[in-house]
Structure 1
Amino acid sequence: MPAAYLISRTIDPIFAVSVGIVAAAVRINREEKERGKTTQETIDSLNRRTAMLFGNDTPATKAVEK
């Protein structure tokens, strides 16, 4: 029996990962709003955490540190 694909054999996994990332982002944003944070505060927090993870000194993290 041939395999069934939604789009194609190569694009289906990319599509699935994309949907998962968006679902996680929506859930995180909703939970942070329940705690009283704005969307921009959530994004700033995420930027700081990824900068620490990868060791980047981006202009956005420098502005927050000041």
Structure 2
Amino acid sequence: MTSNPPARTWYKSSRSETSKQCVEVYHDTGRVGVRDSADHGEGPELWFPSAAWDDFLASRIWVR
């Protein structure tokens, strides 16, 4: 018997509610997944080590 894994809960910023150009983020043990919210869960996912994601956020190179 094979059981289905639990569904992942992806999150997007509350600041992006009116924009269609959003990413969703999923935090897992030791890694972070990122995907395009416009793909409705059907598109590719990019995965990064948690430390790399933390470095990205700390770098402040992203646009607000």
Instruction: Give TM class, smaller chain.
Output: under 0.3
Normalising by structure 2, report the TM-score.
Answer: 0.27
Task: Point out the structure with max Rg over C-alpha.
Answer: 1
Task: Give the structure with the higher percent helix.
Answer: 1
Normalising by structure 1, report the TM-score.
Answer: 0.27
